[in-house]
Amino acid sequence: MNTSDDSGRNIARLLITSPDRPGLVAAVSQFIFSHGANITQLDQHSTDPEGGKFFMRLEFQTPHLDLGREALMAAFDQVVAKPFEMQWSIQYARPAKRLAIMVSRHEHCLMELLWRWSRGELPCEAAMVVSNHPDLKEAVERFGVPFHYIPVPPRDPEAKRKAEEQALELIRGKADAVVLARYMQILSPEFIAGTGVPIINIHHSFLPAFIGADPYRQAFQRGVKLIGATAHYVTAELDAGPIISQDVAHVSHRHGVEDLKDLGRDLERQVLARAVRAHLEDRIIVDGNKTVVF
Amino acid sequence: MNTSDDSGRNIARLLITSPDRPGLVAAVSQFIFSHGANITQLDQHSTDPEGGKFFMRLEFQTPHLDLGREALMAAFDQVVAKPFEMQWSIQYARPAKRLAIMVSRHEHCLMELLWRWSRGELPCEAAMVVSNHPDLKEAVERFGVPFHYIPVPPRDPEAKRKAEEQALELIRGKADAVVLARYMQILSPEFIAGTGVPIINIHHSFLPAFIGADPYRQAFQRGVKLIGATAHYVTAELDAGPIISQDVAHVSHRHGVEDLKDLGRDLERQVLARAVRAHLEDRIIVDGNKTVVF
Amino acid sequence: MNTSDDSGRNIARLLITSPDRPGLVAAVSQFIFSHGANITQLDQHSTDPEGGKFFMRLEFQTPHLDLGREALMAAFDQVVAKPFEMQWSIQYARPAKRLAIMVSRHEHCLMELLWRWSRGELPCEAAMVVSNHPDLKEAVERFGVPFHYIPVPPRDPEAKRKAEEQALELIRGKADAVVLARYMQILSPEFIAGTGVPIINIHHSFLPAFIGADPYRQAFQRGVKLIGATAHYVTAELDAGPIISQDVAHVSHRHGVEDLKDLGRDLERQVLARAVRAHLEDRIIVDGNKTVVF
Amino acid sequence: MNTSDDSGRNIARLLITSPDRPGLVAAVSQFIFSHGANITQLDQHSTDPEGGKFFMRLEFQTPHLDLGREALMAAFDQVVAKPFEMQWSIQYARPAKRLAIMVSRHEHCLMELLWRWSRGELPCEAAMVVSNHPDLKEAVERFGVPFHYIPVPPRDPEAKRKAEEQALELIRGKADAVVLARYMQILSPEFIAGTGVPIINIHHSFLPAFIGADPYRQAFQRGVKLIGATAHYVTAELDAGPIISQDVAHVSHRHGVEDLKDLGRDLERQVLARAVRAHLEDRIIVDGNKTVVF
């Protein structure tokens, strides 16, 4: 499973969504093989072999390919994708995806990502950190990562709009994915659409429980015996996008709101890191409001 | 922790809720000791030592008590409870609590409870099973437990009211607790109040997510990566009573609705059995809409 | 994932172990497709694409196959298996595998299996229960399953040998798998080899910790903070066979040996049921002393 | 549970081990109350009320105590401890315990501890880091913590003895606890005894499975389905000291040795941090080769 090392150089992944039909696996694997690539991982899933939806992730090694990237894609489209009515993409492990991380004051998720990235666990380029507070500038620059401070004045929609524009300016075309690592501003639909890339958020509850603000307080007041964290893709509807990863920890009456936050931090770090890694390794296919994570 | 054996004969538990004040633990433990009882377990919890709420559970052995049950309670009330403004109760492990179990067609939770009861894991008397379907009669009677079939015709409020009255007739005064082991009828506030005893329900989701009908379908449609089960005390508001126990299992895109139900059954059995046992061992103090489970 | 229903009638699974080589997936999936079968699940694993070992499980539907069982196998052997030097087998979901369950006095694992079987969760025929104690006869026969009592006198090797022979007589040719559901006798290598079918055991610890007798006492004395259960295939070496499934539960100083046994029972039931189901669904490939569980 | 904040100033903990006898709880709580301290937490455990062992942890606030530290201890010894034959200690939350961390090249456990310490989650003074490699000097000094590089030449017992002496020189009298955060040298009994303070180690397996070197490789070769981490107090016998905390993660055939190490790192960080925090909050009573963790 470890694909963050040098061998990443020669790795590509094919992601497919299509109607399920006999012959799919044979057609795809035959195509890949016949062009000189060796399949190293293959995962597939069908919601129903009769008239269901079919998902596939295929990882292959590219050194002996008989076609260049463009030609391979054109051939695949012609020979396999069109006949089977596939939605598909080929992702190459190199160049590594460029990550923009947005954060407010809570540093735990950001630090976890930077720390894992610095030791090679996250196959990406940590392209920039954007924050509405200056607090974490030094901690970020220590990793050699550019830090951009873009303040967002409270209760000033026009200032907020301008701040989002500034952030868009930085991100657009310079990042392949955005991670909201406890960024405590609600982003406008314009910003979300404007980045043109997937945005991953960490929500500090077991969604769909405790949508919105201060979920640990909500959890405390409801008296739940488990708290959770959820990493999901961001859509225009708050906390309602496709879920990538979730986890929980047991709690009891002994845990006050602050204790829940303490415990929750550990969950958030792990769940977000897992989701970001799955995204970077092209393991996720979004299917409507759900995900297939291979 | 094993208190379901014969030694239960001589065990009592004192449950206390009170304002937190200096001297509480000393006063209670001194009282118990001075009357000849040996403390075998003591748990306490304070929400805040300054002006917070204090909870205590104290298990003690009764053979060398110098007072009878009535006299002990009167003395405790006078000497300790009144000065400290406590709400309190003393529960004796014998006679065992009488349990009435209500069930519809899904037998897994019921069977789990009966099986654990039959092997001595649940310190109670399995007093009766009440069902709106006749299907499980034979399986229940095999355990030597009376089975009562009370049909509830759909869409007939008057018939439903009568069915609830019949059930009340059976339960009132003959059960110390009611367990809804997948009883698929919504009970009226009149029934809930009418039993006069605590009612424990198993809800097949991680509450407060997926309140109401068909939670596994709701979970499937939301695309969650964990499914849960919640045991809680029943109040007049649907699925909103104090939570006793919760647990979850990881799921993925591979799990259809039926798979979620399969996995969910295992969670429900474990979570409900744990909650019922905690209740029978007098480990639970209800505090508003929350529980302290010692 | 639910394959225990009627659709089982038309399902077959192909299990493959071979040296990893380019073209494997294409060759297999092409073969299956070209003979009219629809692939419903495909899992594969390679220890290393360069010179590693390759494992594959492929589930397919048989109604439109153009060849009978014998002819299909002969063709596969000729066209695919031989060129790629595969070890392989095709397993048909029907007729269901016949299960022989051996048990001593602890009934929890046995009851769990019979209960799941009776509700269709374990796709098998519960062919017989063999026990060295008569205690569980009634409980087993209630499920309509034959119960055979074969006493094994202690400290009498000759009597034990004879008892094993009797058991072999019952099992050989009449069971496709044996499950040791807390059978507290050590089986001889002769018996193990003599059955001619896989034997699954549940060991009440997290192997390889606490091999041998009374693992809960061993765990208690070591002061571990987790207890475990392990389901594994039986080999001639005690508790050393390929592990199929494991799980653990958190414990603390509050748990005495009896409490560990209580908790452990729940683990054992779940872990054994999961392993038996994986075996029955042909999800397991044994690789030396390890398993691949798809 | 959060005791790492300023209120730590006024907190003391009383830890008791004694034969279980009637009147213990009353005597202790009465003593504490009568001297003006308010009990904020009380945990107790008895292995058996008849002739068993009794453990107690009592946290209390000191501002209104009528005696100084010395006088309080003398009085407690006289009035309570001697009559009940207790082993006991009083620990004050201030001054904070001084921690010496020893590490080799793997930085994940060290970084986790320093990061948590820097944000107030570990109530201690990070007094020093001692390493047999220079690699982590900069990362440690960035936290404002002194870093000492003491090389340990391989296969040179005399040089190793001298290195241990140097480390002892640094630690003795200047640390209240030592944490081995993946320190890859086996420490001599002389060093262990010489520090005069508790030493906590993180072992990268679920002890007692996989004692000794390269446990992830051992786990991989055995084909286990769970990997674990264990934090324990160090004794003269390798990996055999009292266990404080353990946890596990599920793995499968897909995980190679490197993947196990990846996953294991996350476990090690969490388990060690949890154990160190419990130690710093005086929650642990060592009982022979086991621990009571309140």
pLDDT for B3: 40
C49/A38 CB distance under 8 A: yes
Burial class (CB in 10 A: 0-12, 13-18, 19+), C134: exposed
Q: Which of A1, A111, A258 sits opposite D255 (nearest CB)?
A: A1
- How far, in Å, CA of C42 to CA of C25, rounded? 10
Torsion B197-B202-B206-B208 (CA) sign: negative
pLDDT-derived band at A9 (thresholds 50, 70, 90) equals: confident
The answer on pLDDT for A3 being more than 50 is no
- How far, in Å, CA of D33 to CA of D39, rounded? 8
The answer on pLDDT for A94 being more than 90 is yes
The 10 Å Cβ neighbour count of residue A155 is 6
> Alpha carbon B104 to chain centroid distance?
19
Of A25-34, B46-55, D28-37, minimum mean pLDDT range: B46-55
Domain segments of chain A: what residues?
11-92, 97-293
The fourth-level CATH superfamily of domain D97-293 is: Formyl transferase, N-terminal domain (3.40.50.170)
pLDDT-derived band at C7 (thresholds 50, 70, 90) equals: low
Residues of A with CB below 8 A from C46's CB? 40-41
The answer on pLDDT for C3 being more than 60 is no
The C-alpha of C34 sits at a distance from chain A's nearest C-alpha, in angstroms, of 8
For residues C75 and A81, the answer to whether their CB atoms sit within 8 Å is no
Q: Which chains touch D (3 or more CB pairs under 8 A)?
A: A, B, C
SS (H, E, C) chain D: CCCCCHHHHHEEEEEEEEECCCCHHHHHHHHHHHCCCEEEEEEEEECCCCCCEEEEEEEEECCCCCCCHHHHHHHHHHHHHCCCCCEEEEEECCCCEEEEEEECCCCHHHHHHHHHHHCCCCCEEEEEEEECCCCCHHHHHCCCCCEEECCCCCCCHHHHHHHHHHHHHHHCCCCCEEEECCCCCCCCHHHHHHHCCCEEEEECCCCCCCCCCCHHHHHHHHCCCEEEEEEEECCCCCCCCCEEEEEEEECCCCCCHHHHHHHHHHHHHHHHHHHHHHHHCCCEEEECCEEEEC
Q: What is the pTM of this model?
A: 0.94
HSE-up of A218 (CA within 13 Å, CB side)?
Answer: 17
> Alpha carbon A28 to chain centroid distance?
26
> Alpha carbon A38 to chain centroid distance?
27
pLDDT-derived band at D7 (thresholds 50, 70, 90) equals: low
For residues D200 and D276, the answer to whether their CB atoms sit within 8 Å is yes
SS3 A56: strand
C226/D224 CB distance under 8 A: no
Q: Which amino acid is at C20?
A: D
- How far, in Å, CA of A188 to CA of A196, rounded? 14
For residues A224 and B246, the answer to whether their CB atoms sit within 8 Å is yes
The arithmetic mean of pLDDT across residues A196-206, rounded, is 97
Helix spans in chain B (H): 24-34, 69-76, 82-84, 108-118, 137-141, 157-171, 189-195, 215-222, 257-280
Residues in contact with B165: Cβ distance below 8 Å, sequence separation at least 6, in sequence order: none
Q: Which residue of B has its CA nearest to D54?
A: B40
The 10 Å Cβ neighbour count of residue A198 is 17
Can you read off the two tokens belonging to residue B248?
């979850």
The arithmetic mean of pLDDT across residues D129-157, rounded, is 97
- How far, in Å, CA of A286 to CA of B46, rounded? 46
Q: Which of C222, C243, C252 sits opposite D225 (nearest CB)?
A: C243
Burial per residue of C180-197, b for 16 or more beta-carbon CB atoms within 10 angstroms, e otherwise: bbbbebebeeebbebbeb
Can you read off the two tokens belonging to residue B14?
């004192």
pLDDT for C2: 40
pLDDT in tens, B67-115: 999 999 999 999 999 999 999 999 999 999 999 999 999 999 999 999 9
Q: Which amino acid is at A107?
A: E
Instruction: List residues bridging with B260 in a β-sheet.
Output: none
DSSP 8-state symbol, A210: T
Place of tokens 């786990």: D219
- How far, in Å, CA of B275 to CA of B113, rounded? 11
Residues of B with CB below 8 A from C142's CB? 142
What's the mean per-residue pLDDT of chain A? 94
Q: Is D168 in CB contact (< 8 Å) with chain C?
A: no
DSSP 8-state symbol, A77: I
For residues A127 and A178, the answer to whether their CB atoms sit within 8 Å is no
User: B11-92 — its CATH code?
Assistant: 3.30.70.260
pLDDT for C261: 95
Residues in contact with B275: Cβ distance below 8 Å, sequence separation at least 6, in sequence order: B200, B202, B231, B232, B244, B245
Q: Which of A20, A66, A156, A239 does the annotation list as catalytic?
A: A239
Beta-strand relationship, C97-103 and C177-180: parallel
Can you read off the two tokens belonging to residue A150?
């873009």
pLDDT-derived band at A105 (thresholds 50, 70, 90) equals: very high
- How far, in Å, CA of C222 to CA of D289, rounded? 7
The answer on pLDDT for D263 being more than 50 is yes
Q: Which of D192, D195, D211 is nearest to D203 (CA)?
A: D211
pLDDT-derived band at B8 (thresholds 50, 70, 90) equals: confident
CA B254-B255-B257 angle, to 5 degrees, is: 145
> Alpha carbon A154 to chain centroid distance?
28
Q: Which amino acid is at B101?
A: I
Can you read off the two tokens belonging to residue B197?
């005893």
pLDDT-derived band at B6 (thresholds 50, 70, 90) equals: low
Which of C57, C262, C277 should be substituted to probe chain B, the one whose Cβ sees the most B Cβ atoms within 10 Å? C262
Residues in contact with C88: Cβ distance below 8 Å, sequence separation at least 6, in sequence order: C14, C15, C16, C17, C18, C76, C77, C81
DSSP 8-state symbol, A151: -
Residue D232, CA distances (Å) to A229, A263, D274, D280, D290 in order: 29, 22, 11, 14, 10
The residue count for chain A: 294
C226/D246 CB distance under 8 A: yes
The arithmetic mean of pLDDT across residues D255-281, rounded, is 96
Q: Which of B193, B35, B208, B178 is nearest to B110 (CA)?
A: B178
pLDDT for D204: 94
- How far, in Å, CA of D178 to CA of C228, rounded? 30
C26/A23 CB distance under 8 A: no
Q: Which of B97, B92, B95, B91 is nearest to B122 (CA)?
A: B97
What's the mean per-residue pLDDT of chain B? 94
pLDDT in tens, C48-63: 878 899 999 999 998 8
Can you read off the two tokens belonging to residue C286?
């044994």
Q: Is C1 in CB contact (< 8 Å) with chain B?
A: yes
For residues C45 and C54, the answer to whether their CB atoms sit within 8 Å is yes
Taking only residues 218 to 237 of chain D, the set having a beta carbon closer than 8 angstroms to any beta carbon of chain B reads: none
SS3 A181: coil
The answer on pLDDT for C253 being more than 60 is yes
The arithmetic mean of pLDDT across residues D143-168, rounded, is 96
The 10 Å Cβ neighbour count of residue C63 is 9
- How far, in Å, CA of A136 to CA of A129, rounded? 9
The answer on pLDDT for C95 being more than 90 is yes
D1/A259 CB distance under 8 A: yes
The C-alpha of D242 sits at a distance from chain B's nearest C-alpha, in angstroms, of 22
pLDDT in tens, A45-92: 999 878 899 999 999 998 889 999 999 999 999 999 999 999 999 999
- How far, in Å, CA of B251 to CA of B254, rounded? 8
Q: Is B63 in CB contact (< 8 Å) with chain D?
A: no
SS3 C140: helix
D33/B26 CB distance under 8 A: yes
pLDDT for D6: 52
Can you read off the two tokens belonging to residue B235?
């109040």
Burial per residue of C249-258, b for 16 or more beta-carbon CB atoms within 10 angstroms, e otherwise: eebebebeee
D254/A1 CB distance under 8 A: yes
Residues in contact with B14: Cβ distance below 8 Å, sequence separation at least 6, in sequence order: B28, B32, B56, B57, B58, B59, B60, B76, B88, B89, B90, B91
pLDDT for A144: 97
Q: Which of C22, C42, C61 sits opposite A25 (nearest CB)?
A: C42
For residues D241 and D289, the answer to whether their CB atoms sit within 8 Å is yes
SS3 C293: strand
Residues of C with CB below 8 A from B41's CB? none
Q: Which residue of C has its CA nearest to B111?
A: C115
Can you read off the two tokens belonging to residue B292?
């302290």
Q: Which residue of D has its CA nearest to C285?
A: D253
Q: Which of B20, B77, B176, B239 does the annotation list as catalytic?
A: B239
Helices A257-280 and A215-222: angle between axes, nearest 10 degrees: 130
- How far, in Å, CA of D128 to CA of D79, rounded? 40
D226/C223 CB distance under 8 A: no
Which of C2, C59, C257 should be substituted to probe chain B, the one whose Cβ sees the most B Cβ atoms within 10 Å? C2
The arithmetic mean of pLDDT across residues C188-200, rounded, is 97
Q: Is B256 in CB contact (< 8 Å) with chain C?
A: yes
Q: Is C44 in CB contact (< 8 Å) with chain A?
A: yes
In the annotation, is B135 catalytic?
no
